[in-house]
Amino acid sequence: MVSVAYLVTVAQKYGLDASRFLECIHEAWLQGESLFDGILVKRRQMTGHDGIFLITQSGRIMAQLKLRSNVLEYMRKMDLRDFRLKDRPANMETKAEPENLMIKDLNSEARRFNLEAKVTEKSAPRVVTSKWGKEFLFSTVTIKDRSGTIKLPLWNDQVHMVSVGDLLRVENARLKRFQGELQVRADKSTRLQVVEKKR
């Protein structure tokens, strides 16, 4: 069975941000797959409390892992700043500043980015329950700039904050792939701001 230390070693080997790599694996556990910095993590199989994951980069296999749900839950809560491998800090990568991008510029190679776009559609809010029984309020909005459209999932307080017609600025966001479709993901490092409210 794979340990967190091994996962951090894999991240270091490929020059990845270790925190983001672990977050991506956890997201794949919940949603089936996750994408960041050109790395695709797919949950291939679930058996009881175990999950088997395939990790690829540009179609090339990096690793196949078997993880237990308690390891995945531990990954979600841990702070890698306090985590060390022998003689090497876990967080080796200096974070780059996010780029200001248009929607047409977003692809699987995009890292952190900033985006400004108008909300054109919003799904009805609903409550979803995680694998561990925690409830979240969820909605998806479609945002549009002059170059294209893309979906942005909203969680909890974000759901009430955003309305159709609002102009949003999303700072330090990243991409994820859900059911084969690229979406903007606002995680704990992302700032979501309503620049202009619908009149």
Task: Break the chain into its structural domains and give their ranges.
Answer: 4-89, 99-196
- pTM of the entire predicted model: 0.53
Q: Which fold is adopted by the domain 99-196?
A: OB fold (Dihydrolipoamide Acetyltransferase, E2P) (2.40.50)
| Nearest Cα to Cα of residue 88 among 80, 79, 96 | 80
Quote the mean pLDDT of the chain: 79
| Nearest Cα to Cα of residue 20 among 93, 108, 107, 84 | 93
Gap between the Cα atoms of 105 and 97, Å rounded:
16
pLDDT tens sequence across 7-19:
877 777 777 777 7
Gap between the Cα atoms of 26 and 72, Å rounded:
6
pLDDT tens sequence across 115-125:
899 999 999 99
